[in-house]
Amino acid sequence: MGLGRWWGLGWLVVAAGCVDDVGPVGTTSTAELSALERIEELLRADTASAIDVRVTVPRDVVVPGDPFPRLVDMLEDVTDKVDGASVDIAYDDLAARDWTLAELEAEIVAREHPVDDGIAAIEVLVVQGDYVDNDDVLGLSWEWSRIVLFADALEAACTAVGGGGGAGDVRERVCEASWATILRHEAGHVLGLVNKELPMVADHEDPEHEHHDPDADCLMYWSWDRSDVSGKVADEDLELCPASLADLAAARDAEPPLSAMR
């Protein structure tokens, strides 16, 4: 869908929330689908046989742990794809700077390549530097297809553990868990959670934080502060809670598709 329908921008930060309805930014090669059709393309067996997660990482960024395979595992758990999900990682020369949303979109579009028929794509861009509207932002997602991770902000969150570096093992766990959690959280928004064009089976949207779950133990919770990141997120992966899983299953398995009934 074109960026004229730029609904559902989400950002995840150390101690802040998400925003929406930022307005048109430009053009994109993404197919002209409605929001729900785009979500169904990612979820359903009858719309695409596989999901291709295409990741671009700056050459001098070291990504801790294995966040991208963990995203693939989550996608395979909640979608119905005959050929599953896969990840392709490319390393590129990408200069650090303070980023606008339009600049991030332009970088993603410049690196897109054609998608085979029957393949749904999610684009992930890792950048150095801050988001101009909020330098605490760890991740962004929009258009039910784009995810950005801010490596410097994630590194700062890791460094904050233990007050300026933290014990090596703890810091490593926090970094790995933080990258994986932020990435999968933003992917949840790409899949339409929470009430981001994906209908809810039962209302579980936080009235104070739009498009997020009020349960702090859920992956789609609105935020975590640094103490929570260094504790709960490091020791246990946050997962999609039953309410979100029910929303995904309802759209994935509906006959006819939910978009056909609108």
Average the pLDDT over each of 92-101, 120-129, 163-172 and give the range with the smallest value.
Answer: 163-172
Determine the pLDDT at residue 162.
Answer: 47
Domain ranges of the chain: 3-250
* H helix runs in 79-211, sequence order: 101-111, 151-159, 168-190
Nearest alpha-carbon partner for 187 in 150, 226, 127, 140:
140
| Tens of pLDDT, residues 211-223 | 999 998 899 998 7
125: pLDDT strictly greater than 70: yes
Cα angle value 102/106/109 (rounded, 5°): 135
Fold entry, domain 3-250: Collagenase (Catalytic Domain) (3.40.390)
- φ/ψ of 212, rounded to 5, equals -135, 160
Both tokens assigned to 133:
């509207």
Per-residue pLDDT band at 19 (split at 50, 70, 90): very low
Report the alpha-carbon distance of residue 85 to residue 95 in Å, rounded: 29
| Tens of pLDDT, residues 233-254 | 555 678 999 999 999 999 999 9
Determine the pLDDT at residue 1.
Answer: 25
Average the pLDDT over each of 76-85, 98-107, 210-219 and give the range with the smallest value.
Answer: 210-219
Give the containing element (helix H, strand E) for 13.
strand 10-13
Which value, in Å, is the radius of gyration of the alpha carbons in the chain? Answer: 17
Specify whether the CB–CB gap between 176 and 228 falls below 8 A: no
Interaxial angle between packed helices 168-190 and 67-78, expressed in degrees from 0 to 180 and rounded to the nearest 10: 40
